């Protein structure tokens, strides 16, 4: 059973098409980055999976059932999570625990594990953005969800706080939780996500690992080796692969080039630098606007 299954899902707001024929499967335990320009439909897709809105066409299944059918198993950190500013961090979390019928001991555990102990008695209105987001994550994790949706969880966070957030998400994935993060922070998410799903104008424009998408899109991989670069400068076959002082090739030519370097020049251990998620983003955007 997949954690999320969308089959030919379309959603309109009035006469405007917001999502068009989206099919998407997310396996349990996967970490998926949902990316795309402003207004692409990312939050809408998350809301459909949460059962907050219903598709005009197509089917959505979450943890094998109807979206919204197992709220305890699904955690959600919305883009603008709101708390009671006049209450402390601990009281806010206890309040949500009580609402969900979860023992307050779980709130204590999360305060401890998410590094909120020293500020637990601080009023939320006096918390930094990073502390609020940790509280937001704690709220989403109260029920130990099997599936977690996060909508731009690191907006406005400093690099340490953002890294903390992603390290926590990685720990959850390691424990088998499915994580779906909607974000614009491509450089940050590319090191964590197993797979990228990109929406453009309500359509699915890309779906796969960075490696596979790069190959499909014909993006350039860099062969990182000064020996290989020096050899290529003297080599008729490789010379044309030097662009802006870097030795590059398409994913489909990669193994051929590596074998050639080893056989002809005895060069081994050549590092391969994948295209970045930003390269994929730009290529998918361009490909979709043709």
Count CB atoms within 10 A of the CB of residue 81.
16
Question: Is 133 a binder of ligand ATP (CB under 6 A)?
Answer: no
Q: Which is nearer to ligand ATP, 36 or 136 (CB)?
A: 36
Token pair recorded at residue 85? 């500013």
Token pair recorded at residue 102? 């979860």
Compute the half-sphere exposure of residue 33: CA atoms within 13 Å on the CB side of its CA.
27
Question: Is 288 a binder of ligand ATP (CB under 6 A)?
Answer: no
How near is the Cβ of 216 to ligand ATP at its closest, in Å? 22
How near is the Cβ of 49 to ligand ATP at its closest, in Å? 12
Question: Is 204 a binder of ligand ATP (CB under 6 A)?
Answer: no
- Distance set, CA 177 to CA 57, 144, 283 (Å): 28, 9, 31
Sole binder of ligand ATP in the list 6, 9, 18, 111 (CB under 6 A):
18
Q: Which is nearer to ligand ATP, 47 or 146 (CB)?
A: 47
Which of the ranges 34-42, 115-123, 249-257, 270-278 carries the binding residues for ligand ATP, by CB under 6 A? 34-42
Question: How many amino acids of this chain bind ligand ATP (CB under 6 A)?
Answer: 10
* Site for ligand ATP, residues 39 to 68, rule: CB under 6 A: 39-44
Question: Is 145 a binder of ligand ATP (CB under 6 A)?
Answer: no
* Residues 4 and 147 sit within 8 Å (Cβ to Cβ): yes
How near is the Cβ of 130 to ligand ATP at its closest, in Å? 20
Q: Which is nearer to ligand ATP, 11 or 260 (CB)?
A: 11
Q: Which segments of the chain does DSSP mark as H helices, in order? A: 42-50, 89-99, 104-113, 129-141, 159-174, 186-189, 210-216, 226-233, 254-265, 277-289
Whole-angstrom Cα distance, residue 185 to residue 183? 5
Question: Is 150 a binder of ligand ATP (CB under 6 A)?
Answer: no
Q: Which is nearer to ligand ATP, 39 or 64 (CB)?
A: 39
Which of the ranges 32-40, 112-120, 125-133, 240-248 carries the binding residues for ligand ATP, by CB under 6 A? 32-40
- The phi, psi pair for 65, rounded to 5°, reads -130, -170
- The phi, psi pair for 254, rounded to 5°, reads -60, -55
Count CB atoms within 10 A of the CB of residue 54.
12
Using CB under 6 A, list all residues that contact ligand ATP: 13, 18, 36, 38-44
């Amino acid at each position: 059973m997949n954690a999320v299954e969308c089959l030919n899902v379309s959603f309109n707001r009035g006469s405007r098409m917001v999502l068009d024929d989206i099919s998407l499967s997310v396996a349990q335990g996967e970490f998926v980055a949902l990316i795309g320009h402003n207004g692409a439909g990312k939050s809408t897709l998350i809301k459909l999976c949460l059962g907050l809105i219903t598709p005009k066409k197509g089917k959505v299944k979450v943890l094998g059932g109807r979206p919204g059918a197992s709220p305890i198993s699904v955690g959600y950190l919305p883009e603008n999570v709101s708390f009671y500013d006049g209450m402390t961090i601990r009281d806010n979390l206890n309040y949500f625990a009580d609402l969900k019928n979860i023992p307050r001991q779980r709130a204590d555990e999360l305060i401890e594990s998410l590094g909120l102990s020293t500020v637990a008695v601080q009023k939320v209105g006096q918390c930094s953005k990073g502390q609020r987001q940790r509280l937001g994550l704690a709220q989403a994790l109260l029920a130990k969800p099997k599936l977690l949706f996060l909508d731009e969880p690191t907006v406005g966070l400093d690099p340490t706080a953002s890294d903390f957030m992603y390290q926590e998400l990685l720990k959850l994935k390691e424990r088998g939780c499915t994580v779906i993060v909607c974000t614009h922070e491509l450089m940050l998410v590319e090191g964590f996500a197993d797979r990228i799903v990109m929406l453009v104008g309500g359509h699915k424009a890309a779906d796969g690992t960075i490696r596979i998408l790069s190959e499909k899109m014909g993006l350039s991989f860099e062969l990182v080796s000064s020996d290989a670069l020096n050899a290529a400068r003297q080599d008729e076959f490789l010379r044309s692969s030097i662009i802006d002082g870097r030795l590059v090739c398409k994913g489909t030519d990669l193994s051929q080039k590596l074998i050639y370097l080893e056989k002809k020049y005895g060069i081994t251990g050549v590092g391969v630098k994948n295209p970045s998620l930003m390269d994929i983003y730009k290529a998918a955007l361009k490909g979709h606007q043709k």
